Structure 1
Amino acid sequence: MRPSILKSLKPDVIVEMLEMAFRLENWDKMIKTADILYDCVQCIYQEQQYRKAKELLLLPLELEHPLVYYYGSSHLMRGIAHQEQGQYVESRVCIDKYAELGWLEGLGEEGLEVVEEFRFVAQANGHALDLISGRVEGLDAYAEFLRENPEEVLPGLDTIVRTALRHGLNVDDLIATFAEQTAEFGTYEDEGNLAHYYHYSYHIALYHKRTERRGEALKQVLQALSLAHQSGNDGHFKRSLALFESLREGATGEQVREVQEILRGCLGGESIE
C-alpha cells in the first residue's frame, strides 16, 4: 500500500475493523487488517523519526493510545488469527514480536506501560499456544499462572477445556480447582468477558457431552445459547443451537421451553409453534 494512502488511514478505525473481524471469526480478514494496521503505524513512526532527525515539527497525532499500542495490537490480532487457523509457528512469531516492544524510541511513561501490558499478554498467550498446539505437559504450570493472575481465569479455563477436547484429556480436577471463580463468570458485563464466557460455556458443554454428563452439557449449552443471543452473534447462536439439538433427547421440558423462549425472542415474540 502506498505511503500516501497509509498516511490517510486512522489507526483507531483500523483497530475497530480488527475487532469486528474477530467477533465474526473472520481470520483471513483479521490477518489482512492487522497487516494494514502495522504498515500504517510503521509509516507514521518512520515519518516522526525522520522529522526528529531533521529537527522539524512533529506531526500532530490524534490517537486514542500511544503509538506502541497499535504495533502491539497488529501483532496480537494477527497471532490470534494464526492460532485459530492452526498455524502455530506463525502465531508464535507474532507473540515474540509483541512480547518485546521496548525497541520503539520516545515511548514515554504511558508508552512503557503499554509495553509492559503487551509483555504480560504475550506470557499468557504463550502458555495458551503451548497447550493448544499439543504441549500438554505445561498444564500444571498454566494452572499456577492462572492462580497468580485471577483476571486470566476465564479465558484460561476456556483454553484448558479446548486443549482437553483437542487432545483427549481429562481436566476435571483442574476445572474443580477454579470452581469458585467459575461461579463469578455470570456477573461479568463487559463485552470482552461476555465473549470469553460464551466460548467457555460452549466448549465446556462439548466437554461434558464427551464425558457423558449430558445434564451438565445441557446446562452449559443453554448458557452459551443465551449469551450468543444476547450478543447478536449469529454464528455462535447457530453453533449452540445445533449442539442443543444433539442433546435435546435428554432435555427437560423446562429446558426445551427455555430454548423456545429464546427463539421467540429472535422472532420478535411471534409464536414458533
Structure 2
Amino acid sequence: MKSLNPDIIVEMLELAYRFEDWDKMLNTTGILYSYAQCIYEERQYCKAKKLPVQILDTERPLVYYFGFSHLMRGIVCQKQGKYEEARNSIFCYAELGWMEDLGEDGIEIAEEFRYLARANLYIVEILSGKTELLEGYARFLQENPEELLPGLDTILQAAIQYGLDVDGLLHTFAEQSAGFGDYEDADNISHYYSYCYHLALYHKREDRVPEALDWTMNCLELFHRSGHDRNFKKCLALFELLRVAATDEQIQRYQNIMMQFLPFSPVH
C-alpha cells in the first residue's frame, strides 16, 4: 500500500469525475482512503513506540488524501441519488481535526474541506427535496461566488425535479452567470456543461422553446468538443424533441456539428 503514489490516484479520480465514471470513482476512492489510513496508522504506531516516522514524498499533507477520498465518494453518492450516503461522506470530511500532528498546512487543508462540506451539504439537502433551503443557499452563493456555477446547476436540477419556478434566482445571478463560458479550468468546464444542459431542460419545461433550443445547441457544441459521447447523445435527443420549432439558423448550426462526424466534406 505504501508503494502507491496518492497524487496519481487523485489525478485518476479527477479524470473519472470529468467522464462521469462513477464505478471507477468509487473503487478508486476506496484505494485512496486505504492508503491514507495505512500511512496514518503506521505513523501513530511509530510515534507510540518512539520509532522514526518515515517522511513520504507526496505533493500534499496526509490529511488531504483522507479528505479528498471522502469528498469524491460523497460526490458519487450524490450523483447516484444516494443522499444519505452522500451526507455521511460529507460529515467525514467536514471535521478532519481528529488527526494528530496536522501542522499549519494540514490545519489549512482541514479548513478548506470544512468549507467544501458546507457547500456540498446544501447541494445534497436541496436535491433530496429540502427546497425550503433555496433562499439560504442563494445567500451562501452571493457570499461565496466561487460556488455559483455548481450552485446554479444544483438550483436548476432541483427546479426540474420538483417543479419549481427559479426565474427570480436566475435573474439575481444573471450578470455573474454570463461569464460562465469563459472558464478554462477542467472542473468549471465540466460544471458548465451540466449547467447548460439543465438550463435547456428548464426552459423546455417552462415552454420557452427558442431559449431551450439555443442552450441545447450550446450543449451539443460543448459535448462534441469534449468527446463526452453519453452527454452528447442526451443533448441530441433533446434537440430532436425541439426540432420542429428550430429556426433555419439553429438547423444550420446542428447540421454543421453533424458534418464534423463525416470523414470528408460533402461535395456541393
TM-score band w.r.t. shorter chain: over 0.9
Kindly indicate whether the alpha-carbon contact (under 8 Å) linking 1:194 and 1:227 is maintained by their aligned counterparts in 2: no
Of residues 69, 78, 81, the one that matches 1:74 is: 69
Q: For residue 256 of structure 2, what is the aligned residue in structure 1?
A: 261
CA distance in 1, matches of 2:221, 2:184: 14
Q: Which 4+ runs in 1 deviate beyond 4 A?
A: none
Of residues 167, 170, 176, the one that matches 1:175 is: 170
Unaligned runs of 5+ in 1: 1-5
Q: For residue 110 of structure 1, what is the aligned residue in structure 2?
A: 105
CA displacement at 1:269 relative to structure 2: 5.4
TM-score scaled by length of structure 1 = 0.93
Kindly indicate whether the alpha-carbon contact (under 8 Å) linking 2:18 and 2:187 is maintained by their aligned counterparts in 1: no
Q: For residue 55 of structure 2, what is the aligned residue in structure 1?
A: 60
Q: For residue 29 of structure 2, what is the aligned residue in structure 1?
A: 34
> Residue type matched to 1:93 in 2?
N
Q: For residue 153 of structure 1, what is the aligned residue in structure 2?
A: 148
CA distance in 2, matches of 1:185, 1:259: 22
How many residues end up aligned between the 2 structures? 268
Q: For residue 21 of structure 1, what is the aligned residue in structure 2?
A: 16
SS in 1 for 2:20: coil
**1:238 equivalent in alignment to 2:236:** no
CA distance in 2, matches of 1:86, 1:257: 37
CA displacement at 1:268 relative to structure 2: 5.3
SS in 2 for 1:173: helix
Of residues 130, 139, 149, the one that matches 1:144 is: 139
Q: For residue 188 of structure 2, what is the aligned residue in structure 1?
A: 193
CA displacement at 1:24 relative to structure 2: 2.4
TM-score scaled by length of structure 2 = 0.95
Instruction: Name whichever of 107-116 and 8-17 sits farther off.
Output: 8-17
CA distance in 1, matches of 2:97, 2:218: 41
CA displacement at 1:258 relative to structure 2: 1.4
**1:8 equivalent in alignment to 2:3:** yes
RMSD: 1.6
Q: For residue 130 of structure 1, what is the aligned residue in structure 2?
A: 125
CA displacement at 1:175 relative to structure 2: 0.7
Question: 1:204-243 maps to which residues of 2 (within 5 A)?
Answer: 204-243=199-238
Identity rate, percent: 56
CA displacement at 1:54 relative to structure 2: 2.5
Q: 1:250 to 1:46 in 2, by over 3 A?
A: same
CA distance in 1, matches of 2:191, 2:263: 27
CA displacement at 1:243 relative to structure 2: 1.2
**1:94 equivalent in alignment to 2:89:** yes
